[in-house]
Chains A and B, each alone.
Chain A
């Protein structure tokens, strides 16, 4: 009888799970929110997603080629696509095309491949890209569209297209009627002008829970996030803790002076908090690995976000909160090694 030649190390069976499958689930979970985005703000977001995914893949291919890593294998894991889409969801649909070019360079080349590629990055690549352009090009990053329902002038897709590629806006319309501040911008500016929160919230860009339209998109992030939790792609700890910690931390300020501070509900349903809670702070590569560490990480993100929103210079603080906690994650992990079975 022949001796067999095949030998493998135990276990000899395996699930069909793959990195691509994990990324695919994340993409699926984002679809409802993207549809709502299109519904409220038009196809500008699709254009931004196309641009940033294109640049993300371009830089991914270049990096892989330069590093002599298998291109096909790592392109098909879809991680660059996820980075591109998450970044696009953070920027204005009117942002010029080179914004995503620069952001994706920093995200894919600097934050990801210079640190060792997939799974080795200390910082969340999408947030690195976002932070770079947010700090470097504040003007381009603050030109937002108003939702269709309250827009003074509804830009057509071709007008958005020319705005993105040539920075030329419709000539016969005044610039200020084209774009609008985000709800968080309005709050920041309003409070600086010594308006009360009640007055600010009465402005048309605010809805019942948070920003008009944004509250819907945020709710759909929750939907997608719950799907990911049920599919065991992300842990429930991070998003739940971010939400609870945000509410608990914002509440004392709000109770102390409801007119001077953002309400906990507005914290949740404006800006990128829920996107961050479910899709960005949950990034396992740059987050904490121990269960206790994940909770500390999430509390840190929530506290930083609230502090930056209330007292900082930037209207939103999710990206900075996440990056700061990314930096602390290895230390938190080291201090929160869980007990193994049988350890007292």
Chain B
């Protein structure tokens, strides 16, 4: 639908940040020379790893399945260029945990040959369940940053009303989604069509954060062209973190995702632009998710730009290709400046979730050091989760983590707005992440010890019961004997006779 005005709602707080997106957008989209080695992570969802189905030395084609999921929540992993499998091992990837995880190393042959698919024709009439299978086969993980396996959001049983297409990247610098909407709008709409079919959604809302109006114009053109009645484009205000799932839902619908719940509870699915386009590529051209658009920017990058980069390309290869020479004082950040994480191992390959590589100079600046919290409340006024960040800090600092939980610690989305605004320069998010991890661990330990205690108590009870039963039995026999001495005599008599009989029989047998 074009020209329809949508009522927008507000979420609490948020901060207005310098945008830094226009430079990378103006420089357009291009490709980089292929890296010699690709390191493809086998993580397919949090802590879930796919099993390799190729051997070392095996030749692979681009798009060939190289690892299969071990369970229903995992997705397939594909070779992202042609070459040979040279190593399968654990190594550090561009993952926030910076832990070594299973990965496949491919030495590229430079031909970048696609696997010849059996059925390359466009898949037109797919049923919802077929699309969901396609999503899993295409290897789709949420490309906005969380990396949640996409197919898990879809189920024919779910009653979905609205598909929210999240094109509102609210972090500074990152412009890969905006670039995608400018470069591949047709594929995006194909993907939206598929996702709507898969979810049975009545409408789709494309949320964009658009300063120039260029993207809105382009998308609306296609909507008019294709006469799409159920898809609309909505411009949302550029306040960080509007692009956060919960905040975006509030802005568009005025509703809140229940605490601890999912958008599904509101009959909504939120999907990142890149993920949607990747599905269209798979269904239209049988090209699984092997590459993505990555923004390369930051104050140490002379020409910020968006690139189409194969998954697994090492970060140092990318930085070399854009002529960035890393100094000791530089910081390389994956993601945006608000929620991104620093990486120190630049040989790590990019992942499906890597939307941006930032190189920032961290030359020692006369920065004011961290001061104690004065409880000024600036953090309260910017918190999009409507928490009291200063109180959380107070309790966590004092080691009173349970109090922090009472103050809704687990509703924190870790957007960093409180840290950004704090006049005492306290990195509040760090406290919350620590407290969450600690509480989860304590809960885990408590559950484990509770279970052990229960097991122990059950065992004791069982033993006690057996003992009781034995006692009862003995008591019963004893009580009968006590009551009836005649009967005992008879019983003794009977057993003596039984023995005699047996003896006689035995003697007979011997004869």
Chain A residues at the B interface, C-beta cutoff of 8 Å: 1-15, 17-22, 73, 77, 79, 117-120, 232-233, 235, 284-285, 287, 289-291, 333, 337-344
* A-B pairs with beta carbons under 8 Å apart, 26 shown: A2-B326, A3-B326, A3-B344, A4-B344, A5-B328, A6-B331, A8-B331, A9-B427, A10-B337, A10-B419, A12-B333, A13-B338, A18-B424, A77-B371, A118-B371, A118-B374, A119-B372, A120-B372, A233-B376, A284-B376, A287-B375, A338-B386, A339-B408, A340-B408, A342-B256, A342-B258
Beta-carbon contacts under 8 Å, B318-339 to A? 319-320, 325-333, 335, 337-339
Minimum CB–CB distance from A175 to chain B (whole Å) comes to 44
A49 to B138, CA, bound (A): 72
Q: Which of B107-115, B186-194, B377-385, B491-499 contacts A (4 or more CB under 8 A)?
A: B377-385
Q: Which of A12, A73, A233, A342 has the most CB of B within 10 A?
A: A12
With A11-B429, A14-B425, A333-B391 already in contact, the answer to whether A6 and B378 are too (CB < 8 A) is no
Q: How distant is A234 from chain B, measured CB to nearest CB, in Å?
A: 9
Q: Is the beta-carbon distance between B375 and A289 smaller than 8 angstroms?
A: yes
In angstroms, Cα B421 to Cα A22, docked, is: 12
| Complex-state Cα separation, A118 to B328, whole angstroms | 36
Q: Could you mark each residue 351-366 of chain B with 1 if its beta carbon is under 8 Å from any beta carbon of chain A, else 0?
A: 0000000101010000
Report B286 CB to chain A, min CB distance, Å: 36
Would B369 and A6 count as touching, CB distance under 8 A?
Answer: no
B259 touches A6 (CB 8 A): no
Report B-chain residues with C-beta under 8 Å of the C-beta of A232.
Answer: 378, 381
The reply to whether B386 and A12 form a contact with Cβ atoms under 8 Å apart is no
Asked if B88 is at the interface (CB within 8 A of a chain A CB), the reply is no
Q: Which residues of B contact A18 (CB under 8 A)?
A: 368, 371, 423-425
Taking CB atoms, residues of chain A closer than 8 Å to B344 are 3-5, 7
How close is A22's CB to chain B, nearest CB, in angstroms?
5
User: Which residues of the partner chain B approach A4 to less than 8 Å between Cβ atoms?
Assistant: 326-332, 342-344, 346
The CA of A173 and the CA of B369, in the complex, are separated in Å by 56
Are A289's CB and B385's CB within 8 A? Answer: no
**Does B86 lie at the interface of the complex (its beta carbon under 8 Å from any beta carbon of A)?**
no
Q: Are B371 and A289 in contact (CB under 8 A)?
A: no
In the bound complex, do residue A341 and residue B384 qualify as a contact, i.e. CB atoms below 8 Å apart?
Answer: yes
Query: What residues of chain A lie closer than 8 Å to B337, measured between beta carbons?
Result: 10-13
The reply to whether A19 and B374 form a contact with Cβ atoms under 8 Å apart is yes
B11 on the A face (CB < 8 A): yes
Inter-chain contacts of A120 with B (CB < 8 A): 372
Interface string of B412-429 (1 = CB under 8 A from A): 000010011111110101
Could you say which residues of chain A place their CB within 8 Å of the CB of B326?
1-4
Docked pose: A15 CA to B17 CA in angstroms: 9
| CA–CA, A14 and B326, complex, Å | 23
Pairwise interchain contact B346-A11, C-beta atoms closer than 8 A:
no
Q: How far is the CA of A18 from the CA of B366 in the complex (A)?
A: 13
Q: Are A12 and B390 in contact (CB under 8 A)?
A: no
